[in-house]
Structure 1
Amino acid sequence: MKIEALKKRLDRNRPMTSVTIRMPEDVIEDLKRVAPLLGFSGYQPLIRAYVGQGLRVDLERLESETVTALVNSLKRRGVSDAVIEEALGEVAHATSD
């Protein structure tokens, strides 16, 4: 994830929207019980943390699959491994700045 995107994700004052989701009562009760044990002020922040955690995993996996597909496509078109590795190194360096 790029630094700017990460900074936006960490901003506690970013805009929020309300959503309604139906969940089993026992799940909500478990969330209410677990939230303070994990340091959350309530079950809703815990749900947001769970959703964010799962979303980050999926985004990373999807981005990784896209890069893999691109590399494979470049190889099929005759681009050398050395050129691909050099380009990936440049991208990795640019995203870490």
Structure 2
Amino acid sequence: MTSITIRIPEDVVDDLKRLAPLLGFSGYQPLIRAYIGQGLRADLERFESETVTALIASLKRHGVSDAVIETALGEITHS
């Protein structure tokens, strides 16, 4: 892990400290890491989905058939 410094409003830290044990976290810092991880994964999934959609559209413009695209997508999603 890497140590960082981040400025967070005191009321937010107080809320995190209050909520952490209720959610089963040992402290507010693990809860912050969980929130960051969840947001990051959601953004990565959205970005990757948009990239795949753009790639599929480009392949279709270049004459690649839907059947070939579906086969390729099936291969990578069932690996």
Q: Select the residue among 30, 50, 54 that pairs with 1:45.
A: 30
Q: Deviations over 1:64-96 (max 9, x none)?
A: 1111011000000011101100010011112xx
TM-score by length of 2: 0.98
2:66 equivalent in structure 1: 81
1:85 is matched by which residue type in structure 2?
Answer: E
Deviation at residue 40 of structure 1 after TM alignment: 0.3
1:57 is matched by which residue type in structure 2?
Answer: A
Q: Deviations over 1:12-40 (max 9, x none)?
A: xxxx0101000100000000000000000
2:70 is matched by which residue type in structure 1?
Answer: E
> Within 1, Cα distance between the matches of 2:70 and 2:49?
15
Unmatched 5+ residue regions in structure 2?
Answer: none
1:40 is matched by which residue type in structure 2?
Answer: F
1:63 equivalent in structure 2: 48
Structure 2 residue matching 1:22: 3-state secondary structure: coil
Question: Runs ≥4 in structure 1, deviation > 2 angstroms?
Answer: none
> Within 1, Cα distance between the matches of 2:47 and 2:67?
24
TM-score by length of 1: 0.80
